[in-house]
A = this chain, B = another copy of it.
Amino acid sequence: MRLPQYVRALTQILEQGTEVVSSQQLGQQIQVTPAQIRKDLSYFGRFGKQGRGYTVRYLLEALSHILGLDREWQVGVVGVGRLGRAILSYPGFGPEGFSVAAAFDADPRQVGQMVGGIMVQPVHRMQEVLEETGIRIAIVAVPASEAQEVVDRLVESGIRAIINYAPISAQVPPHVTVRNIDPVLALQSLTYYLR
């Protein structure tokens, strides 16, 4: 899925004040071939003008809408240890339309604390809170040993999308999508090229 990259690049291009962009120029910025970009876009509609290119603002709005980025998404974070705290106080989600609206932890010492401006709730209230708030995206930042259990409970609670920071390959039903963030795997795949 390259659309989010296009959105990011178009946002930058718009900020520069450029009004029209070709697939060639866009591709240069994000290391994707022009044909690839045109093919990707053609799957969703016809956004360009021959001989001219794409109107940056128009394409940006169209793609943002397709991705559902023209609204704010509430996100729940499970696990407020070292990593969870870093996520909760990460300032990069807000500007992109994601707002961390709930945080959970199993450790009673964490529960009740304020982290990144929100109150940590006990994990046994997770289903209740997620259903009340209608949160459908969760970030899992618990130890590997507890991650699958947490994922199972998130799925039961109606979560539809998960960012998983735990080093496991989580099992989920088909209606739930998972993206793994796994720096160790990334490092380990790099070492292959260093010999």
Contacts and interface: CB of A to CB of B under 8 A. Distances in A.
Interface of A: 1, 3-5, 7-9, 29-31, 66-69, 73, 75, 82-83, 86-87, 89-90, 92-93, 96, 98, 136-137, 139, 160-163, 167, 169, 171, 177, 179, 181, 183-195
A162 to B, nearest CB: 8
Contacts of A83: 86, 90
B177 A190 contact: yes
A160 B191 CA distance: 9
B187 A98 contact: yes
A161 B189 CA distance: 10
A63 to B, nearest CB: 10
A163 B184 CA distance: 10
Contacts of A8: 167, 185
Nearest to A71: B191
Contact of A187 (B75, B89, B193, B195): B75
Please name the 5 residue pairs, one residue from A and one from B, whose CB atoms are nearest each other, closest first: A4-B188, A161-B190, A68-B191, A179-B186, A1-B189
30 contacts: A1-B192, A3-B189, A3-B192, A4-B184, A4-B185, A4-B188, A5-B169, A8-B167, A9-B169, A29-B169, A67-B191, A68-B194, A69-B188, A73-B194, A90-B183, A92-B184, A93-B187, A96-B184, A96-B188, A137-B194, A160-B194, A161-B191, A161-B194, A163-B183, A163-B186, A177-B193, A179-B186, A179-B187, A179-B189, A181-B183
Nearest to A184: B96
Nearest to A64: B188
Contacts of A30: 169
